[in-house]
Amino acid sequence: MPGFFVFPLPPPQSEVHRPRLHDATRHRAESWPAALSRPRRFEPLPSRVPLHTLGPGAGRLIVGVGGDDGSAVLLDPQDAAGAFLVAGPPRSGRSTALVSIAAQLHGHTRVALCSRPGPLRQRRDLAVIADAGDPVQSREALQSLPADGALLVDDIDLLDDPALLDGIESAMRRLRDGGGLVVLAGTTDAMSASFRGPVAQARRARIGLLLRPEGAHDGDLLGVRLRRRGSHTDPPGRGVLAVHGRAVPVQVPDPS
């Protein structure tokens, strides 16, 4: 019809239905107990920590700082069954870890075998420091060890004299039975490929330091599972303490 328009009517407004909260449900929600503790906070590991700032270990070794709060990580030498490994690539802090452990073995006759110059050879508080390349020096050093002494061998992966390796293994058995300690340091790859001799014997305890580990293959040395990661940005002394299948991230203290 001319002049007649039809305006469409707006659709009817739909009613919004909100579920009603049951009284019992509301009561349970309002009476839910508050959190008893704060969320866990993980402190980043420092790139360097002086050993003297950590205080005495009270008969235990301070192998590093770590854990959730960056506190001292302690190890009872008796738990190591007389043997402790320090493994890592070159310039990972192996020698620093050896010196740090040696500085804490008060009351033990400490004997060191060194294949080349390094921090351990510069110590003046050790009973004997022998050149591992000299058969006479090495034999006399091993013979001077009492049953409760401590033997520290740097760069054991460089030793290939069967008589010297047999002497170290014999000393390990003597120290284990007498309450002493043997600490062997070397590259992770070389130690992992060792299936006989002192390193193989020490691996059975599954206790040691893995410095700058790069993946699961490094963890195989001490029986721990590690994630694959790049370690080239880690400072020297950064790694994990492996103890019977457990791995704790640590930063090795600097004894200087």
CA distances from 157 to 46, 89, 199 (A): 29, 12, 9
- Flag whether 68 is in a domain: no
Q: Give yes or no for a contact between 213 and 220, defined as CB atoms under 8 angstroms apart.
A: no
Amino acid found at 32: W
Owning domain of residue 138: 79-203
Q: Give how many domains the chain has, as a whole number.
A: 1
Would 98 be classed as within a structural domain? yes
Residue 241 lies in a domain: no
Residue 65: inside a domain, yes or no?
A: no
CATH of the domain at 138: 3.40.50.300
Token pair 């599954």 is at which residue? 206
pLDDT, tens digit, for every residue of 79-138?
Answer: 888 999 999 999 999 999 999 999 999 889 999 999 999 899 999 889 999 999 999 999
pLDDT at 109: 95
- Asked whether residue 117 is assigned to any structural domain, the reply reads yes
Strands 61-66 and 71-75: antiparallel
Is 177 part of a structural domain of the chain? yes
In a domain, 31, yes or no: no
Q: What is the pTM of this model?
A: 0.80
Beta 61-66 vs 246-251: how paired, if at all? antiparallel
For residue 157, is it within any domain? yes
Torsion sign, CA atoms 150, 74, 63, 217:
positive
147: left (phi over 0), alpha (psi -120 to 50) or beta: alpha
User: Are 68 and 41 spatial neighbours (Cβ–Cβ below 8 Å)?
Assistant: yes
| Residue ranges in the chain modelled with pLDDT below 50 | 1-7, 9
